Structure 1
Amino acid sequence: MSSEQPKVYLEVIKQINHIINEDQLASGDKLPSERELSDRLDVGRSSVREALRALELLDLIETRRGEGTFIKPFGSYRLVEILLSFLLKDENARKDLTETRRIVELEALKLACERITDDSVQKLNELLTKAKDEWSHGDLPVEEDYLFHKTIVEASHNRLLLNLWVSLVEYNKVAIERSLKREGRMNLALSEHEEIYEALKKRNQKAATAAMRRHLENSRF
C-alpha cells in the first residue's frame, strides 16, 4: 500500500461527507448518482466508482441493484478502525491513542457505576477467578484482562463509547501482553482488577475511578 493511499481515502470521504451535509442527507437516504457526483466533485466517473467502492468496503454506504447507492446506519464504526490502523504506525499517535483510551475508559467506568447489572458484576468476578487460575498455572491471562476491561465499558450501556474503546484497544492487544509480561506486573494487575471490581460491586464511583486511574497508569499501555 502506498503512503499516498490513506490521504486519497480521507479526501474522498471528506468530499462525499461535504455533499451529504450540503444535501442534508441522513442514514437510509440515497446518494446522488455517479454522474452527478462526477460533476460536483469534478472528477471522472471511474474515480467516483472507485470512491464508492472504497466507501462500501468501509461499510458506510450500500449499493442496491437497480435502486442506487444509500447511506448505511453508522453502526459499525469501521471508519474509526481504518483510521486507527494508520495511526498506530506513528509514535506520537500511539501516545494519543493511549491517552484517548484512558479518557474513554474512565468515563465509561463512571457510567458503569450507575448502570452496571448484577449479571455484569458476576461476569467480572468470573473473569477475575479465571485470570487467577490461569496465572497460577503459569499462563498469561491476556484475553481475560481484555474482557475484564471490555465488560466494564459494556456496563456503561453507551454503544458509541464501547465501539470507540474496542477500536482503540483491539488493534493494540499486543500492548496488553507486553504490559503483563513485565516483572511483577501480573500479580499487581490482578490486585488492581480486584480493587476495581470491589468498588464497582458497591457502585462506588469515586473508589472505582481512582482504582482504574492507578491501574491504567501502572499498565503503561
Structure 2
Amino acid sequence: MDHSSLQESTIPSPSAVKDELEPIRKTRIYEEVASRIQRLIADGRLRPGDHLPPERELAERFGVSRTSVRDAIRVLELMGLLEPRQGEGTVVRDLSPDSLVSPLASLLVRNRALLADLLDVRKMIEPSLAARAAVQASDEDLAALEQIFLRQQDKVRQGQLAIDEDSAFHYAIATAARNRVVLRVLDVLMDLLRESRERSLQVAGRLQRSLQGHRRILDAIRGRDADAAEAAMRRHLEEIEDVLLKSKASRVGG
C-alpha cells in the first residue's frame, strides 16, 4: 500500500475518527498512543503489511512528541503487533494463526515443558467450553457434532487415525459455545499439537479411547448436562496428556 492511500484509508482524518486522533493529555502519553494504534489495528484500519506513517506525521496527528510515538511503537513491537523492516520503516505484523504457530511449533519439538504448558491451557479452556456448549448448543450444533463423531467412528473402525475428525469435534464444541476468540486460540493450540496428537493416536488402544471420550462428551452435551460435559472433557484431556507426555518422555530418554 502506498503512503498516500495509507493516509486516506488507514490513518483517517481527525474529523472521521475524533476518538482516535484527538490530542492526548495523559501522564504516560506513549501508552495512550500505543492504545490508539492498537485500536486501529484491531478495527482493521491498519492491516497486516501496512506501513505506519513516519514518526513525525504520527506525532502531529496525535498531538504528542516524537519520543512518545517512538516509545509507543517500541511497546507494540514487543507485543508482536508491529515489526521494523530495514529500509521500509515499521510494518503491521501478520497475526494469523499460521504466523503464530510456526515459531512455536519448532520450539515445541525440543521443549517438553512447553508441551505440558500447552496441554494445561487446553484443560483450562475446553472443559468450560463443553459445559457452555451443553447449555447453548443449537439443534444444528448437535447434529454437526453427531456427524463428526460418526465419521470419526467409521475411520477408527477402519484403523485410520481420524485426526481431522478429532480436531473438528473440538472445534465444533468451541463453535457451539459461541466464543470466537476462544475458537481462534483453540485453532492455534490444535495446530501446535498436531504432530504430538498424531503420534499419540498411534499408541495401541488410543484411537478407541479417544472415540469413547468423544462419546461421553457428546452424550453429556446432547443431554444438556453441563457438569457431566465438563467432567467428560476434563477426563478426555487428562487421558490425552498422559499419553502425550509419556510418549515425549520415552523419546527423550531413548
Gaps of 5+ in 1: 1-17, 60-75
Gaps of 5+ in 2: 1-27, 60-65, 74-83, 245-254
Q: Map 1:34-53; keep pairs closer than 5 Å.
A: 34-36=54-56, 39-40=66-67, 41=70, 50=88, 52-53=90-91
Which residue of the partner structure matches residue 185 of structure 2?
164
Taking the aligned partners of 2:237 and 2:32, their CA distance within structure 1 comes to: 42
Which residue of the partner structure matches residue 208 of structure 1?
229
1:195 maps onto 2:216 in alignment: yes
Which has more radius of gyration?
2
Q: Map 1:118-133; keep pairs closer than 5 Å.
A: 118-133=139-154
* 1:140 Cα offset (Å): 1.5
Q: Deviations over 1:3-45 (max 9, x none)?
A: xxxxxxxxxxxxxxx98732241235679732437953389xx
> Mean alpha-carbon deviation: is it higher for 175-184 or for 33-42?
33-42
Q: Deviations over 1:62-105 (max 9, x none)?
A: xxxxxxxxxxxxxx567754664465253322211111122111
Which secondary structure does the structure 2 equivalent of 1:52 belong to?
strand
Q: Contact conserved, 2:52 with 2:89, CA < 8 A, in 1?
A: no
1:102 maps onto 2:140 in alignment: no
RMSD: 3.1
TM-score normalised by structure 1 residue count: 0.71
1:148 maps onto 2:169 in alignment: yes
Which residue of the partner structure matches residue 21 of structure 2?
none
Q: Contact conserved, 1:111 with 1:156, CA < 8 A, in 2?
A: yes
Which secondary structure does the structure 1 equivalent of 2:130 belong to?
helix
Q: Deviations over 1:82-138 (max 9, x none)?
A: 664465253322211111122111222222122111111111111111111112222
Percentage identity across aligned positions? Answer: 27
Number of positions where the alignment pairs a residue of Structure 1 with one of Structure 2: 184
Q: Map 1:71-82; keep pairs closer than 5 Å.
A: 76=96, 80-81=100-101
